[in-house]
Amino acid sequence: MPNHETPVRMAVLALIEQNGKILLIQESKPACRNKWFLPGGRVAPGESILDAAVREVREESGLSTELTGLLYVDQRTGGSPAGNGDRIRFVFLGRAAGGTLKQTEDEHSIRAGWFSEEEFGRLDLRSPFVRRIIGIRQENPAFLPVAYVHILTPEELLLERP
């Protein structure tokens, strides 16, 4: 039975492609330090999933991004072995739109880099999820255009029925 008292966390990731390479960040958090992963993180209270994805890419990679679509959504129920609780995760597609690739460690990440699929074999990836998402992108190039990810306006919220 679901626990309606515990909030479901929302997280975002971004698959940013450029010249046949994928943007990855090297994690700085102690639990996964030095491992490579897609840029992303938690959605802050009051923040849209779109704004969160753009913010996370900027914080972790130093790059601004233009989101182009929603590629994948997954949900974790019943928590995780680490006790992290329920989560809904959105994976967006995008392209770099400026900025400078991060090479200095801070609380968000150690550094960022562009990697081809062939180069992934030399990286210590945080999770097989990175390869899974790239495989999904290659197998099914169809995605939901970002224009169809709608964040309700305050006016629209007033019209919502309980």
Q: Which of 102-106, 120-124, 154-158 has the lowest mean pLDDT?
A: 154-158
The answer to whether residue 100 scores a pLDDT higher than 80 is yes
Tell me what pLDDT residue 154 has.
Answer: 85
CA distances for 162 relative to 13, 58, 130, 159, angstroms: 30, 36, 38, 10
Domains in the chain: ranges and CATH: 9-159 (3.90.79.10)
Element (H, E) at 159: helix 154-159
Average pLDDT over the chain, rounded to an integer: 89
Q: Residue 3: which pLDDT band, with cuts at 50, 70 and 90?
A: low
pLDDT bracket for residue 97 (50, 70, 90): very high
DSSP 122: G
Angle at CA of residue 141, ends 139 and 146, nearest 5°: 140
* Lowest mean per-residue pLDDT among 38-52, 78-92, 115-129: 78-92
Residue 79: predicted pLDDT: 62
Question: In this predicted structure, what is the pLDDT of residue 141?
Answer: 72
> What is the reported pTM?
0.88
